[in-house]
Amino acid sequence: MTPVKPKRVPRAIREQQMLDASVEVFARRGYHPAGVEEIAEIAGISKPMVYLYFGSKEELFVACIRREANRLMEMITQLVDPQDPPKEQLWSALRGFFSFVSDHSGAWIVLYRQARTQGGPSAREVDEMRRRTVELIAAMLSQAAGMRKPGEQAVTAAHALVGSCESLADWMLDTPGTSAETTAKRLMHFAWPGLEELMEATRAKRAKR
Amino acid sequence: MTPVKPKRVPRAIREQQMLDASVEVFARRGYHPAGVEEIAEIAGISKPMVYLYFGSKEELFVACIRREANRLMEMITQLVDPQDPPKEQLWSALRGFFSFVSDHSGAWIVLYRQARTQGGPSAREVDEMRRRTVELIAAMLSQAAGMRKPGEQAVTAAHALVGSCESLADWMLDTPGTSAETTAKRLMHFAWPGLEELMEATRAKRAKR
Amino acid sequence: MTPVKPKRVPRAIREQQMLDASVEVFARRGYHPAGVEEIAEIAGISKPMVYLYFGSKEELFVACIRREANRLMEMITQLVDPQDPPKEQLWSALRGFFSFVSDHSGAWIVLYRQARTQGGPSAREVDEMRRRTVELIAAMLSQAAGMRKPGEQAVTAAHALVGSCESLADWMLDTPGTSAETTAKRLMHFAWPGLEELMEATRAKRAKR
Amino acid sequence: MTPVKPKRVPRAIREQQMLDASVEVFARRGYHPAGVEEIAEIAGISKPMVYLYFGSKEELFVACIRREANRLMEMITQLVDPQDPPKEQLWSALRGFFSFVSDHSGAWIVLYRQARTQGGPSAREVDEMRRRTVELIAAMLSQAAGMRKPGEQAVTAAHALVGSCESLADWMLDTPGTSAETTAKRLMHFAWPGLEELMEATRAKRAKR
DNA sequence: AATGAATGAGTATTCATTCAT
DNA sequence: TATGAATGAATACTCATTCAT
């Protein structure tokens, strides 16, 4: 009865609505099967608007990636205090990460399962974020061990840690009844001993010199 | 005058040729962009043959997944001796895994990057293999700690470990000059302390009862 | 802070600006590929204005045709003195024509290459002008030969002459270093003998009667 | 009752059927308004075949141009005997040309009205043919005047002549009751005196040297 | 066993055109 | 007078899939 008259919505808002719809559809269907038509429908607009605002399906996808990647990074950045000891930092980061994934499962699926699979710009975008994350972790480990630049082992460990996060995030989403907090704690149990040992070994080696 | 007679190749061999071509193309392009035409071309046959042998693009994809998943599992199974202590078993498994990835990068990309992204049968196939792997690891950890059934923490650790493997495999492929052996060793350094501690804690808790 | 106030430009001027932009774009891209958007942009206004002023893309195109056709006819009319002998008249007309084409290449391209190709009103507009031109030439030839109404041969010659003009105009535009004056002169050399002979033959035939 | 079972037609024949349909539709509608769908329908096949055989609408268009241009050139070439005196040659060429236009009005419209208008490959194709024609005529004139290379005036005359042909062809199609033969004859009357004079002047100038 | 010929069903993209302000 | 927002309708192009031979 109140057919929601198509109001003239300002650009900035429409953009967000379109991104919301896109993330939802890309997450549900995957990049290729997702149709621009469906996205437009869910956003409550017509197809041409999508092209007017984003230019192409791929650019739309990249815009999704970018928004969600930024949100994720912000969430973590806000929780981590660089002054804290490494263990605290890691703990905060993990909690932030898993709680983001919990709260924005669609975003996570798009970022992790979809974006990296497609070649081209979208994969590059996510790879870039991943690279920065790995670097950050490696740097933190090295600094805590009193080194300037991360060694090979630190970088490898960082990569492994990120992989653990991704795997558990995925698992968490598929396994109801698993809270972000718990998942973070368990991952700490798994990962911290190895990281600690690594830092000690590094310190020891350094001391000898 | 010599129109390259279409050789009558026996079914079993044709199938393998087609799977080889498929893995190559799926790895290079991704599931959706890969065209049945190109696959047929590379396999040196005509499109209808593909349908005669595999029924549909999706079934062809599943067949790829299955073959490569089996190869991967065989490689690992052959290297791991269930009588060995856990650390030995893990070490062997990791070496097997990374060396498989090194030698069959196409297969790995299809399994890891492509299969899981697509919904449907192919994803299920890979998820199943993954599930079995995680179970196996969790079971090994629990047994070594003297328990019948894996606890939550063991399962979580197994998931994390598998994630680490995947992440490092990917990284290894993108980073020349990194050998399978080295990668396996570094992953051991990262993961073993946590796993050991977990087993000990489990044993301790069990003793108290 | 200074949002470039949209000046209230009087209608007559806006119309000319829009026609200028249209001719430019139609000439550069052709009728169909030309986008109303681009025209509006170049005219420094927004799309709806175009529709407010001209109603539709086709009407806009027709308006272009009309303006340029009139300009061309005016230019020629002003140069030609009907009291002059035919040769003088032709010479003046040709000079006028080629110099118009030289000075308004865009207009010429729109008139000749674009307008006639599209069916509908625009083609009719140009065909009409062309018809009048042919008639004028044929009439001139006949009058000079002392006849009331142009004969078939005169009409044919007029058509041929117009075709020569068009062809050379095109060629002149594609061939730098060729002046309007020179082109006109050479065309006179080519066309005049035939026309003269035609007039003489006509006169002779008439005398016999 | 006999719904013309969709026979499997060999490639070469289908190609011609498609070109026939294309010429018809391109002539009737113009390049842009012509839809690949309609072309396919008229050819009695489905859209994808068009793309399978020709790759794109533009390539299809170019293929039309090429076929018709070749047919036109062949027709003329067969009629003209290079041993004949210039006047004979011209006369034969004109008769050939106008009779081609009469018999293949669609082809002519595509070649003349459509192809040159669109930029890109198709225009280039036609321009090329036109250029060769002009060169041929200019060469003939010069040779007959005892010169090696055509002078500026000869080239200009050739361009003018070609323009006359085009204009009259167009007119002939729009004016029923006008035969190719008659049109050719009238064009001779118009053009020959000028050409003859040109050749004589050239010969005279050459003698002086 | 093998394939050249053929298509149904879709998809991204564009563009002239119109509202609401 | 002037425009940012919005769309209906069309169109080129692709691809998995199937006949007829």
pLDDT tens for each residue of D117-159: 988 899 999 999 999 999 999 999 999 999 999 999 999 999 9
Residue B3 pLDDT exceeds 70: no
**Residue showing tokens 């690992």:** B76
Nearest to D160 among C156, C159, C191 (CB): C191
Instruction: Give the B window 186-205 contacts with A, CB below 8 Å.
Output: 186-187, 189-198
Res. B92 pLDDT band, cuts 50 70 90: very high
Find out whether D68 and D97 touch, Cβ atoms under 8 Å: no
Residue B88 pLDDT exceeds 70: yes
Mean pLDDT to the nearest integer, C139-145:
92
Find out whether D59 and D84 touch, Cβ atoms under 8 Å: no
Find out whether B151 and B202 touch, Cβ atoms under 8 Å: yes
Residue B5 pLDDT exceeds 50: no
Res. D25 pLDDT band, cuts 50 70 90: very high
D8 CB contact with strand F at below 7 Å: yes
Mutation site, D87, D108, D130, D159, interface C, largest C CB count within 10 A: D159
What pLDDT is attached to residue D208? 77
Which tokens is D74 given?
């062949």
Give, as ranges, the nucleotides of chain F with any atom within 7 Å of a protein CB: 1-21
Question: Which chain A residues in 54-83 sit with Cβ < 7 A of strand E?
Answer: 55-58
Mean pLDDT for chain B overall = 93
The dihedral built from the CA positions of residue A121, A127, A130 and A131, taken in this order, carries a sign that is negative
- B79: Cβ contacts below 8 Å, ≥ 6 apart: B92, B93, B95, B96
Mean pLDDT to the nearest integer, D92-97:
97
Domain count, chain D: 1
Res. C1 pLDDT band, cuts 50 70 90: very low
Residue A133 pLDDT exceeds 90: yes
What pLDDT is attached to residue C207? 83
For D110, name the nearest residue in chain C, comparing CA atoms only: C117
For D171, name the nearest residue in chain C, comparing CA atoms only: C159
User: Domain for residue C129, yes or no?
Assistant: yes
Res. C209 pLDDT band, cuts 50 70 90: low
A43 CB contact with strand F at below 7 Å: no
Question: How large a percentage of chain B has pLDDT more than 70?
Answer: 96
What pLDDT is attached to residue C7? 59
Q: Tens of pLDDT along C50-63?
A: 999 999 999 999 99
Residue B120 pLDDT exceeds 50: yes
Give, as ranges, the nucleotides of chain E with any atom within 7 Å of a protein CB: 1-21
Which residue is closest, via its CA, to the C1' of F15?
A: B35
Shortest alpha-carbon distance between residue C4 and chain D (Å): 37
Residue B70: which domain range? 66-208
B7 CB contact with strand E at below 7 Å: yes
Mean pLDDT to the nearest integer, C46-51:
96
* Chains contacting D (3+ CB pairs below 8 angstroms): C
User: Domain for residue A40, yes or no?
Assistant: no
Which residue is closest, via its CA, to the C1' of E21?
A: A8
User: Domain for residue D6, yes or no?
Assistant: no
Res. B51 pLDDT band, cuts 50 70 90: very high
For D201, name the nearest residue in chain C, comparing CA atoms only: C189
Residue B34 pLDDT exceeds 70: yes
For chain D, the maximum distance between any two Cα atoms, rounded to a whole number of angstroms, is 80
Res. A2 pLDDT band, cuts 50 70 90: very low
Helix (H, G, I), strand (E, B) or coil at D103: helix
pTM summary value: 0.91
Mean pLDDT to the nearest integer, D57-73:
96
Please give the torsion angle defined by the CA atoms of residues C129, C132, C134 and C135, in that order, rounded to the nearest 10 degrees. 170
Nearest nucleotide to A8, CA against C1' atoms: F5
Residue C151 pLDDT exceeds 70: yes
From A31-35, A39-43, B116-120, D99-103, the region with the lowest mean pLDDT: B116-120
Mean pLDDT to the nearest integer, B86-111:
96
Read out DSSP for B167-196? Answer: HHHHHHHHSTT--HHHHHHHHHHHHHHHHH
Mean pLDDT for chain D overall = 93
From A86-90, C7-11, D93-97, the region with the lowest mean pLDDT: C7-11
User: Domain for residue D181, yes or no?
Assistant: yes
Find out whether C116 and D171 touch, Cβ atoms under 8 Å: no
Residue A27 pLDDT exceeds 80: yes
Give, in Å, how far the C1' of F2 lies from the CA of B204: 80
Which residue is closest, via its CA, to the C1' of E1?
A: B8
D162-183 burial: b if 16+ Cβ within 10 Å, else e: bbbbbbbbbbbeeeeebebeeb
A154 CB contact with strand E at below 7 Å: no
Residue B209 pLDDT exceeds 80: no
B15 CB contact with strand F at below 7 Å: no
User: Domain for residue C29, yes or no?
Assistant: no
Other C-beta atoms within 10 Å of C187: how many?
Answer: 27
User: Domain for residue B76, yes or no?
Assistant: yes
Residue A4 pLDDT exceeds 60: no
Give, in Å, how far the C1' of F12 lies from the CA of D162: 35
How far apart are alpha carbons B70 and B77 in whole angstroms?
A: 10
User: Domain for residue D30, yes or no?
Assistant: no
The reply to whether B175 touches chain A by the CB within 8 Å rule is no
The reply to whether D156 touches chain C by the CB within 8 Å rule is yes
What pLDDT is attached to residue A207? 83
**Residue showing tokens 């459509």:** D114
Chains D and B touch (3+ CB pairs under 8 A): no
* Among the listed residues B155, B184, B19, the one whose alpha carbon sits nearest the alpha carbon of residue B96: B184
Res. A7 pLDDT band, cuts 50 70 90: low
Contacts of C31 in chain D (CB under 8 A): 32
Contacts of C163 in chain D (CB under 8 A): 163-168
How far apart are alpha carbons C111 and C109 in whole angstroms?
A: 5
Contacts of D156 in chain C (CB under 8 A): 168, 183, 186-187, 190
How far apart are alpha carbons B105 and B23 in whole angstroms?
A: 10
What pLDDT is attached to residue C19? 98
Contacts of D163 in chain C (CB under 8 A): 163-168
Helix (H, G, I), strand (E, B) or coil at D5: coil
Res. D54 pLDDT band, cuts 50 70 90: very high
* Chains contacting C (3+ CB pairs below 8 angstroms): D
Question: How large a percentage of chain C has pLDDT more than 90?
Answer: 86
Nearest nucleotide to C29, CA against C1' atoms: E15
Res. D6 pLDDT band, cuts 50 70 90: low
Query: Number of CB pairs < 8 Å for A and B?
Result: 112
Mean pLDDT for chain C overall = 93
What pLDDT is attached to residue A209? 66
How far apart are alpha carbons C71 and C74 in whole angstroms?
A: 5
B49 CB contact with strand E at below 7 Å: yes
**Residue showing tokens 């003698």:** D207
How far apart are alpha carbons C156 and A182 in whole angstroms?
A: 95
**Residue showing tokens 């396996």:** B184
* Among the listed residues D127, D104, D129, the one whose alpha carbon sits nearest the alpha carbon of residue D27: D104
Mean pLDDT to the nearest integer, B120-149:
93
Please give the torsion angle defined by the CA atoms of residues D97, D100, D106 and D111, in that order, rounded to the nearest 10 degrees. -40
Which residue is closest, via its CA, to the C1' of E11?
A: A35
Q: CB C166 to CB D163 under 8 A? A: yes
How far apart are alpha carbons C127 and D118 in whole angstroms?
A: 20
Instruction: Give the C window 1-20 contacts with D, CB below 8 Å.
Output: none
Nearest nucleotide to D6, CA against C1' atoms: E6
Give, in Å, how far the C1' of E21 lies from the CA of A1: 25
D79-107 burial: b if 16+ Cβ within 10 Å, else e: bbeeeeebeebbbbbbbbbbbbbbebebb
The reply to whether B158 touches chain A by the CB within 8 Å rule is no
Mean pLDDT to the nearest integer, B147-173:
96
Which tokens is C55 given?
């109603």
Mean pLDDT to the nearest integer, C157-167:
98
Answer with the residue of higher pLDDT: A5 or D179.
D179
A16 CB contact with strand F at below 7 Å: no
Mean pLDDT to the nearest integer, B71-93:
95
What pLDDT is attached to residue C2? 39
For chain B, the maximum distance between any two Cα atoms, rounded to a whole number of angstroms, is 86
What pLDDT is attached to residue D119? 85
Shortest alpha-carbon distance between residue A43 and chain B (Å): 24
* Chains contacting B (3+ CB pairs below 8 angstroms): A
User: Domain for residue B7, yes or no?
Assistant: no
Question: Which chain C residues in 77-136 sit with Cβ < 7 A of strand E?
Answer: none
Q: What is the CATH number of the domain that holds A188?
A: 1.10.357.10
* Among the listed residues B93, B204, B188, B208, the one whose alpha carbon sits nearest the alpha carbon of residue B145: B204
* Among the listed residues C92, C72, C105, the one whose alpha carbon sits nearest the alpha carbon of residue C175: C105
D5 CB contact with strand E at below 7 Å: no
**Residue showing tokens 């269930």:** B82
Mean pLDDT to the nearest integer, D187-200:
97
Contacts of A183 in chain B (CB under 8 A): 156
Mean pLDDT to the nearest integer, C69-91:
95
What pLDDT is attached to residue D1? 38
Mean pLDDT to the nearest integer, A109-131:
91
